[in-house]
A and B are shown apart, each in its own frame.
Chain A
């Protein structure tokens, strides 16, 4: 990755949720860069802060309780976090769109699905209003729904179909950046395969830069060029797909792979990561993973660990990373 080519740059992003009783440190100093047309997988468990990162980029965090502590999101030289709400409205839905996890709740139940697609097109595309409907129908066909169903309502569709409608809305204006938050988690595996194939095809055709949020390493392997592993609001390891899947070096990443039952090998016992993720209301002094880490030593407890380069494309936040000879 070189300096000029970065399409999206997220720098030192920190987000907290502040309530009267406590402060949840959801995202802590997250930075990453993404080139045009690439697919980045953000991987992590429940509560790791993946969705908060995506919502911050799109600026749809609910403030309060959310509070942006620091950071910048630079897309094509423009800091999105400094735009006025009016300016942001022009970006949202046009340049950046998001697919939410649950297609059951992200559609408007009292508006026909065709109108929901047309709404985005009408707002952001400069096409004559009498052509909006035909463009929306075209979008439906692209995602594999017959255009005749334009006037039907969300409850008349199955889960997989609804997620296709959500994808049609997200891609209607050919966004430059697509944030897909667990787009297939609510779907059955054969329907997931259909939706992933569709997303792959559309991404390639439009050269859409994508951030794919998921906890499923199988989906990452299918879809992504680059991977960032998120733990307790921090990126603990990042690199290309090959870096992470072939030479994982953070103990958490290795733990994730070990905990997963695999189809291509037989083991009597899985190797779970012992313990639980840390309490997000009180940050640990040192490494956030040390209480669960099999390799942890005294130094891990005391100092904040910085991301260090394992190879030019591969970063790891660990002072005792697992080297190649051990794997």
Chain B
């Protein structure tokens, strides 16, 4: 199948007073059209920055983003506007990503009018369709964000990002701020929309059960680097990287009879400022050795399953 989005050696460094923050460091992967790529990792691992770069809210430091066979890192203004219609983002916090002075209708209508493709009347018509699509009752069209609950606000956010029929949508923790019963409504909605419109998602979350449910493929990130990537069902059956293993074992299970053997990690995530070469997880890893402080490469350990750990084969035989 063809890849809609492909990123190669993508890097994003932020300059701060204390040094260079390596927020995204040499990340490479591709997403097939109509599929969902899940990005998981803990806070500060660079997953949101990655999402923002992909829709060009942030310039990358180096690397390529190929969208529909075209490198979008060096587009001119006009082509960029076109690209933005095709690639959209849904933000984490529906409380702060909507303009508090815009009604639901005005919020959804705004991108339509900005595109210049719709007249006022057409935009209004399309807004009604969008509200229906994401499940907001017509009576709420003149409500303001503060009058809506979190789930409905997120529906408005979804309607806005789908307004111009994008092909690719970055979902940046779209359900983290919601209660579990509402979260399920939004996850089902995102899935339904994907099936109806053949959307391609990059789904960023820290919640592993959510990512398992929604993704076809998963990337695990740690401190800006990709540590493991493979098809979703495979990751939960077999993990190779010591960090992925610890991450999965740390999830509290609702199964009260089968307790997982938990791997408790030492220490905490270290600083992404001027990191040392080699594996960034080395300082917390139970299997650290000399070789871990040399640069690591992503290696295909089984078909379609890539791991960035120099000891991976050795650990498997242990």
Chain A residue nearest in CB terms to B249: A193
Q: Is the CB of A260 within 8 A of B254?
A: yes
Shortest CB-to-CB span from A222 to chain B, Å, is: 5
Highest count of chain A CB atoms <10 Å: which of B151, B183, B184, B249: B184
Cα-based distance from A264 to B259 in the complex (angstroms): 12
Q: Is the CB of B206 within 8 A of A189?
A: yes
Highest count of chain B CB atoms <10 Å: which of A188, A190, A242, A273: A190
Our pick among A190, A197, A221, A259 for the contact of B254 (Cβ within 8 Å) is A221
Cα-based distance from A202 to B268 in the complex (angstroms): 21
A-B Cβ contacts below 8 A, count? 110
Q: Is the CB of A160 within 8 A of B250?
A: no
Could you tell me which residues of chain B, from 222 to 276, have a CB within 8 Å of some CB in chain A?
Answer: 233, 236, 246-247, 249-256, 262, 264-265, 268-269
Q: Is the CB of A261 within 8 A of B247?
A: no
**B143 proximal to A (CB < 8 A):** no
Count of chain A residues with Cβ under 8 Å from any Cβ of B?
Answer: 44
Q: Is the CB of A190 within 8 A of B42?
A: yes
Chain A contact residues: helix, strand, loop or mixed: helix
Chain A residues in contact with chain B, CB under 8 A?
Answer: 45-46, 158, 160-161, 188-194, 196-197, 215-219, 221-222, 241-242, 245-246, 255-264, 266-267, 269-274, 276
Q: Is the CB of B268 within 8 A of A256?
A: no
Cα-based distance from A257 to B262 in the complex (angstroms): 23
Cα-based distance from A222 to B257 in the complex (angstroms): 10
Q: Is the CB of A246 within 8 A of B256?
A: yes
Shortest CB-to-CB span from A21 to chain B, Å, is: 15
Interface string of B133-170 (1 = CB under 8 A from A): 00000000000000001010000000000000000000
Q: Is the CB of B151 within 8 A of A218?
A: no
Q: Is the CB of B213 within 8 A of A270?
A: yes
Query: Hey, which chain A residues are within 8 Å of B251, CB to CB?
Result: 189, 218, 263
Query: Hey, which chain B residues are within 8 Å of A46, CB to CB?
Result: 179
Shortest CB-to-CB span from A118 to chain B, Å, is: 25
Q: Is the CB of A263 within 8 A of B256?
A: no
Chain B residues in contact with chain A, CB under 8 A?
Answer: 42-43, 149, 151, 179-185, 187-188, 191, 206, 208-210, 212-214, 233, 236, 246-247, 249-256, 262, 264-265, 268-269
Shortest CB-to-CB span from A271 to chain B, Å, is: 7
Shortest CB-to-CB span from B179 to chain A, Å, is: 4
Cα-based distance from A161 to B268 in the complex (angstroms): 9
Shortest CB-to-CB span from B194 to chain A, Å, is: 12
Our pick among B42, B43, B151, B250 for the contact of A276 (Cβ within 8 Å) is B151
Query: Hey, which chain A residues are within 8 Å of B183, CB to CB?
Result: 259, 272
Cα-based distance from A216 to B210 in the complex (angstroms): 13
Cα-based distance from A221 to B252 in the complex (angstroms): 7
Query: Hey, which chain A residues are within 8 Å of B264, CB to CB?
Result: 193-194, 197
Query: Hey, which chain B residues are within 8 Å of A196, CB to CB?
Result: 252
